[in-house]
Amino acid sequence: MQNTITDISSKKVSPLTLVYLKDNDKVLLIKRSSKKKMVAREWLGLGGKVEPGEELIASARREFKEESGLNINDPLLRGTFTWVDETKWAGTLYVFIATDYDGDLLDRSDEGELKWHKIRDIDDLTGLAGHQKLFLKKLLLDDNYFYCGIAVYKNNNLVSYADNEQCFSERQNIAR
């Protein structure tokens, strides 16, 4: 069978963590420096690959510490984002929000530039990784929101997308 986006049988599916640290009206993001990554030179949350046998929260804490120098004390799972494309990889991001932290922020991370951004300005942030525009502001502003989305990419371009908004809307209409 040909390895296309619709034929996922040969995909290597990778679990990843993505953490957003909120501090009042700001969120810490990293601008990835590696040219090899799909999100190189774009702002996004901190995180990375879950290691074999590693629990999600442990992975979120480890990756955040490695990239920022900070310990997050209260990571809360707030969503998932799954993608598939024409490469051999597919992935699921487990999205966490944290608000309690300690330690000293690194002046420079090996992974890229670290910077606090105003939450209210996120939609206008130049260089925000495209997939985050689908959910980030709502996650940061609504403490009761849980996000679940899936996307199909071709040549790094979004070609199809669905999330839980329609499902939640239908449930709310039934409850009324």
- Give the integer Cα–Cα distance in Å for 90 and 125: 27
Please report whether residue 45 resides in a domain. yes
Please report whether residue 3 resides in a domain. no
Query: Judging by DSSP bridges, how do beta strands 70-72 and 147-154 pair with one another?
Result: unpaired
Tell me what pLDDT residue 1 has: 37
What tens-digit pLDDT sequence spans the chain (176 residues)? 344 556 788 888 999 999 999 999 999 999 988 655 556 689 999 999 999 999 999 999 999 999 999 999 999 999 999 999 888 889 999 999 999 999 999 988 888 899 999 999 998 999 998 888 889 999 999 999 999 999 998 888 889 999 998 776 665 566 55
- Both tokens of 163, joined, read 């999330």
Q: What is the pTM of this model?
A: 0.88
Q: How many CB atoms lie within 10 A of CB 161?
A: 13
Please report whether residue 144 resides in a domain. yes
What CATH number is attached to the domain comprising 125? 3.90.79.10
Tell me what pLDDT residue 2 has: 44
If we measure between CA atoms, which residue out of 140, 109, 142 comes closest to residue 122?
140
Please report whether residue 4 resides in a domain. no
Hey, what's the torsion of the CAs at 124, 126, 129, 135, to 10 degrees? Answer: 0
Please report whether residue 1 resides in a domain. no
- Both tokens of 42, joined, read 């774009």
Q: Domain range for residue 61? A: 12-175
Please report whether residue 6 resides in a domain. no
> Total structural domains in the chain?
1
Please report whether residue 7 resides in a domain. no
Phi, psi of 119 (to 5 degrees): -60, -40
Please report whether residue 5 resides in a domain. no
18-44 exposure pattern, b = at least 16 Cβ within 10 A, e = fewer: bbbbbeeebbbbbbbeeeeebbeebbb
